[in-house]
Amino acid sequence: MLVGELELIFDDETIILREGDTITVPPNVWHEAKSVDGGKMLTIFKNGEFDIFLAPTATLLCIYLTTTPLHLLTQALDHFL
């Protein structure tokens, strides 16, 4: 965890990551991440499977970008930059 806090939720467990914490999540383990205050984390995929993760995400992003009004995209970018 680089900055802030992140709530990492598994089926039956919730872990709070704070600045400097690390965690390893095994492949194919369902989890959800929430950061109320906009924390920042670095995610590293081992075994070269990042492209497999990104494929469905890229499709969703393309749909979002082509169906969202420009002023809303600008607001979203301003929030993250």
Q: What is the pLDDT of residues 54-71, one digit of tens each?
A: 777 666 666 666 676 776
81 pLDDT more than 60: no
| Interatomic CA distance for residues 43 and 46, integer angstroms | 10
Confidence band (pLDDT; 50, 70, 90) for 7? Answer: very high
Write down the pTM of the prediction.
Answer: 0.55
* 28: region left, alpha or beta (phi > 0 left; psi from -120 to 50 alpha): left
Q: Which helix (H) or strand (E) holds 9?
A: strand 5-9
Cα gap 49→68, rounded to integer Å: 29
